[in-house]
Structure 1
Amino acid sequence: MNREQEQQKMEVVGFFGVYQESFKIVQSHTKIFTQITFILILPLLSFIFFIFKQQSNLLFNEILHDSHELTNINNHDTPQYQHLIRKISSKWDTFLFFNLISFTLILIFSILSTTAVVYTVATSIYAAGKETMISFTEVITGIVPKTWKRLMVTFLCAILDFLAYNFLAMLVTWELAKPVRNYFGVAGSIIMVFLYLSGFVYLIMVWKISSVVTLLDGKACGFEAMKKARN
């Protein structure tokens, strides 16, 4: 089957066909997908997310506890008050440092895992029937250095979109929350939450597809890639 026929086949596989084709691709290239999973995806999910997130939550809870104690001290000139101020300030620095490290590692592993998966799938489809298949080492040493900058630009543009969406959602909620709650009660609140989550999931879909567009399109990145992803 040539490339054009393979592309036409993939365009009409349907919802369940996507999962079927994905399973076939993973099954036919078990080695590289196993390497991607254990070297890139599992560290992203386990070490980075759980360890750093748990530590971050622990620090934040300690900051809240110390801040509560601080509000109970009326005299600001006491040694206890000054000690709590320094303690809270130090914990805030640690909290921000942990989140910065976590964000950086998530960005790095996201770029690596996205690149590895997209190029592996692309080569398995477009190079169907050929004996040669891209290796994990080739992805990390050859493809990632050429694509990480464009992928990071797309990632940062997606972050800006999420920030703008949440800011707009807060403004709308501020204006409509009370009228909706008064006239429609719980049902109105549920509708507002559903609409917000629908938009949030849509943005996630656009971000994921734009990452694929960035990797496979040599020119598009950032908002241009997101525009193509929406289309």
Structure 2
Amino acid sequence: MDVEQEEMQFLGTYGIFRETAKLIFTWRRIFSQITLALILPLSFLFLAHMEISDLFLRKIMFDEFVLDQTQTSTASFDKLSDIVSSEKVYYFLFQIAYLVIFIVLSLLSTSAVVYTVASIYTGRDVTYKPVMSVVPKVWKRLLLTFLCVFISFIGYSIASVLAISFLFFLIILIFGSVGAGVIILLYIIQIIYLAGAFYLTAIWQLSNVVSVLEDSYGFKAMSKSYSLVKGKLGISIVIILILSFPLGTVRFVFGNLVVRTESLGVLTKGILGIFCFLLFFICFLLKLVTETVLYFVCKSYHHENIDKSALSDHLEVYLLGEYMPLRPRDVQLEKFQL
């Protein structure tokens, strides 16, 4: 990176994206190789899932419609009912398989990119083969962190739903009806819920990087990420919003214009499909590199100096065999004075 660590704390949203772009273009060879090996299959899987899911649902809906028109207690009804039940089981299994493969590819991509950016930061030579040999040794830590984040999201959502339901019930009990003011209040609560979800997402961003570069994973990595994101929460959320917009655009355009719209021609759908594919893998790579740069910015902001030689030794351990995480006191918590 061109910016010294002491100066990284002053980087804002533009500065972080500028450093991300410099990293990708300067080291475009290794990032292109990672993209071809991991992110392109992930992008194809993401888009193919929407297409196949839509085909599944259409078939199920059609068969259910025919089933409703079929006389009950007949051989045809029983046969069609079995077919619909089987289709729903296959659809459920397909969703599970997609989710598992998508998560695995995402974690593999994350481990490869984080290791690459950290290696660049320490001045190490970065080549494709060593990077890919490291990936299997790191993704299990990322998986544990992901599961902990997932549990946190589920717990947060359940608690929010219970709180909103209790508040709604209390209002009905006191006022006897729901007025315009109550509806506005509920919308405000939903906005607060989304703010909390973005906060958890900001913590998740850094916890992935922490899981690779520090002796922390799972809830411990989330706790460390919680400490790091303080003071940079606004920038973290802005980055999430900026990167979420193109990914949301891909989901909307591909799902509504390519998959479900019949009025567009094959050529137009093909062009839109290619556009969505390119936009997705570019933004996904940008997201992973940006998260790692943000980690170093947060470390600098909290005056936690990362000794490059010690971090390089830590990264070297991945290549030597068994994973031996770097202890925080070795490298992560050395304070520097401005």
- TM beyond 0.5: yes
Match of 2:137 among 133, 141, 146: 146
Closer, same or farther: CA 188–210 of 1 in aligned 2, 3 Å: same
**Paired residue type of 2:36:** F
Kindly state the Cα deviation for residue 152 of structure 1 after the two structures are TM-superposed.
1.0
Kindly state the Cα deviation for residue 60 of structure 1 after the two structures are TM-superposed.
3.0
**Paired residue type of 2:149:** A
**Equivalent residue, structure 2, for 1:35:** 33
Match of 1:161 among 152, 159, 162: 152
> How many angstroms apart in 2 are the aligned matches of 1:54 and 1:200?
28
Is 1:216 the counterpart of 2:213 in the alignment? yes
Closer, same or farther: CA 160–74 of 1 in aligned 2, 3 Å: farther
Q: How far does the alpha carbon of each residue in 1:164-205 deviate from its partner, in whole angstroms, 9 at most, with x for none?
A: 222223223323357495252553343233222222222222
**Equivalent residue, structure 1, for 2:56:** 59
Closer, same or farther: CA 136–182 of 1 in aligned 2, 3 Å: farther
Kindly state the Cα deviation for residue 118 of structure 1 after the two structures are TM-superposed.
0.9
Match of 1:134 among 112, 119, 126: 126
**Paired residue type of 1:139:** V
Closer, same or farther: CA 74–196 of 1 in aligned 2, 3 Å: farther
Kindly state the Cα deviation for residue 208 of structure 1 after the two structures are TM-superposed.
1.9
Closer, same or farther: CA 70–191 of 1 in aligned 2, 3 Å: farther
The percentage of aligned residue pairs carrying the same residue is: 33
| Structure whose residues are more often helix by fraction | 1
Contact kept in structure 2, 1:115 and 1:215, CA below 8 Å: yes
Give SS of 1:144's match: helix
Closer, same or farther: CA 54–177 of 1 in aligned 2, 3 Å: farther
**Paired residue type of 1:34:** S
Give SS of 1:12's match: coil
Q: How far does the alpha carbon of each residue in 1:100-155 deviate from its partner, in whole angstroms, 9 at most, with x for none?
A: 2211221121112101111111121222xxxx4222221111x1122121111111
Contact kept in structure 2, 1:44 and 1:109, CA below 8 Å: yes
Contact kept in structure 2, 1:6 and 1:125, CA below 8 Å: no
> How many angstroms apart in 2 are the aligned matches of 1:146 and 1:113?
13
> How many angstroms apart in 1 are the aligned matches of 2:69 and 2:200?
43
Closer, same or farther: CA 124–154 of 1 in aligned 2, 3 Å: same
Is 1:18 the counterpart of 2:16 in the alignment? yes
Contact kept in structure 2, 1:116 and 1:136, CA below 8 Å: no
**Equivalent residue, structure 2, for 1:82:** 78
Match of 1:202 among 193, 199, 205: 199
Contact kept in structure 2, 1:6 and 1:126, CA below 8 Å: no
Which stretch shows the higher mean deviation, 196-205 or 149-158? Answer: 196-205
> How many angstroms apart in 2 are the aligned matches of 1:160 and 1:12?
34
Give ranges in structure 1 of 5+ residues lacking alignment. Answer: none
Give SS of 1:35's match: helix
Contact kept in structure 2, 1:155 and 1:222, CA below 8 Å: yes
> How many angstroms apart in 2 are the aligned matches of 1:63 and 1:135?
48
Contact kept in structure 2, 1:59 and 1:95, CA below 8 Å: yes
**Paired residue type of 1:60:** L
**Paired residue type of 2:179:** N
**Count of residues in Structure 1 that have an aligned counterpart in Structure 2:** 220
> How many angstroms apart in 2 are the aligned matches of 1:169 and 1:139?
41
Contact kept in structure 2, 1:214 and 1:221, CA below 8 Å: yes
Q: How far does the alpha carbon of each residue in 1:41-80 deviate from its partner, in whole angstroms, 9 at most, with x for none?
A: 23212x11111232123323433444455456673x2223
Give ranges in structure 2 of 5+ residues lacking alignment. Answer: 173-177, 228-338
Match of 1:49 among 46, 50, 64: 46
Closer, same or farther: CA 225–173 of 1 in aligned 2, 3 Å: same
Q: Give the structure, 1 or 2, with the largest relative contact order (CA under 8 Å, sep 6 or more).
A: 2
**Paired residue type of 1:32:** I
